[in-house]
């Protein structure tokens, strides 16, 4: 029995299949919602799944001039990273499957793995759109990562622990969005940057650089990247909802809070124009970081 449980955790719930299904569901929800806001009809509920199956069944073209091992390996690492991150967050409102002191940092870096892999995948090919996309992806990573990290450390300081499970437990009694509104704002917008949602979609701005870093990807590897993105959406929403929105005590609250967050993200997505990459960097370092630091300053003065 002891051996069976971890395998279930990894492959069925909360990792593996459940997470993939949930990711695709959330992806559909955000696409449908955006479509409704933009006066379109939007995809049917199974469209993300259908896209994935179609991509998985297609031929994969490995372009000339790439390192094939890297080309095939990077999407696997990306997906594995996001799936692993899910084990340490309260997915579906249940306590995290695993946890150790300091796992918050691990989760944040596992989530960055996807972006990093995307950037490397772009830099691995000779395609000029991919190269520009890779540069932009990595530039964006360096601009939002620090403010996002600082914003996630605010609740950690309040809870007195760097373990996601403990912070989530603490947050259940304390709606930290009220105490740290600036941190919440930065975390929310940071999540948009992480997911490369508009207006932070300069790395894959298709009117400029086609599909950015993933231009050369097709078939299975592209499907894996897409799945990674879908899972990251769920994990990111869970993380922010768990630490800022009063914790996730049961599956119903999980659904309500993460969907509510997604609603806000999609609303912003519909309202805003794409930022140029220099504007993105400026926004994060000029405003994002300063806002969080101001928040920290207030916390240190008031909390202690």
Residues that bind other proteins (CB under 8 A): 37-40, 128-129, 132, 198-199, 201-202, 205-210, 270-279
* DSSP-derived secondary structure letter, 127: -
In whole angstroms, the minimum distance from the beta carbon of 133 to other proteins comes to 11
> Rg of the chain's alpha carbons, rounded to an integer?
19
Give whichever of 38 and 250 is closer to other proteins, judged by the CB atom: 38
Minimum separation from the CB atom of position 144 to other proteins (A): 17
As measured in angstroms, the least distance from the Cβ of 235 to other proteins is 26
Of 47 and 139, nearer to other proteins (C-beta) is 139
Hey, what's the torsion of the CAs at 163, 166, 169, 173, to 10 degrees?
A: -100
Q: For residue 266, give the 3-state DSSP assignment.
A: helix
**CB 4, min distance to other proteins, A:** 47
Residues 296, 290: Cα–Cα separation, whole Å: 10
Residue 172 or 274 with smaller CB distance to other proteins = 274
Which conformational region is residue 217 in: left (phi greater than 0), alpha (psi within -120 to 50 degrees), or beta? beta
The values of phi and psi at residue 197, to 5°, are -80, 150
Structure tokens at 264: 């806000």
Residue nearer to other proteins on the CB measure, 263 or 270: 270
- Quote the DSSP letter at residue 125: S
Please choose, from the candidates 104, 29, 25, 89, the residue with its C-alpha nearest in 3D space to the C-alpha of residue 235.
89
State the nearest-atom distance from the C-beta of 206 to other proteins, in Å: 5
In angstroms, what is the minimal distance from the CB of 212 to other proteins? 11
Return the structure tokens found at 262: 């997604």
Pick the closer one to other proteins by CB: 202 or 213: 202
Closest by CA to 243, choosing from 299, 296, 176, 188, is: 176
Q: Which is nearer to other proteins, 114 or 266 (CB)?
A: 266
């Amino acid at each position: 029995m002891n051996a069976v449980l971890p395998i279930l955790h990894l492959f069925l719930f909360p990792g593996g299949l459940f997470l993939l299904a949930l990711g695709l569901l959330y992806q559909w929800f955000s696409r449908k919602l955006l479509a409704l806001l933009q006066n379109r009809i939007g995809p049917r509920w199974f469209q993300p799944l259908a896209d994935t199956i179609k991509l998985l069944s297609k031929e994969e073209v490995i372009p000339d001039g790439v390192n094939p091992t890297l080309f095939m390996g990077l999407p696997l690492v990306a997906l594995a990273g996001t799936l692993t991150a899910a084990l340490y967050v309260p997915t579906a409102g249940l306590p995290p499957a695993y946890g150790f002191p300091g796992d918050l940092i691990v989760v944040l870096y596992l989530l960055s793995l996807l972006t990093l892999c995307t950037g490397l995948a772009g830099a691995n090919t000779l395609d000029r759109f991919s190269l520009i996309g890779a540069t932009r992806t990595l530039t964006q990573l360096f601009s939002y990562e620090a403010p996002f990290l600082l914003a996630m450390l605010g609740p950690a300081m309040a809870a007195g622990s760097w373990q996601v499970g403990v912070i989530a437990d603490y947050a259940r009694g304390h709606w930290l969005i009220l105490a740290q509104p600036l941190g919440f704002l930065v975390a929310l917008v940071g999540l948009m940057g992480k997911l490369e949602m508009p207006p932070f979609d300069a790395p894959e701005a298709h009117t400029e650089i086609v599909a950015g870093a993933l231009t050369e990807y097709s078939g299975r590897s592209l499907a894996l990247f897409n799945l990674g993105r879908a899972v990251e959406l769920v994990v990111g929403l869970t993380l922010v909802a768990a630490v800022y929105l009063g914790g996730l005590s049961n599956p119903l609250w999980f659904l309500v809070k993460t969907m509510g967050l997604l609603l806000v993200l999609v609303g912003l997505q519909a309202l805003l124009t794409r930022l140029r990459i220099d504007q993105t960097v400026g926004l994060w370092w000029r405003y994002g970081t300063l806002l969080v630091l101001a928040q920290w300053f207030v916390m240190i003065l008031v909390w202690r």
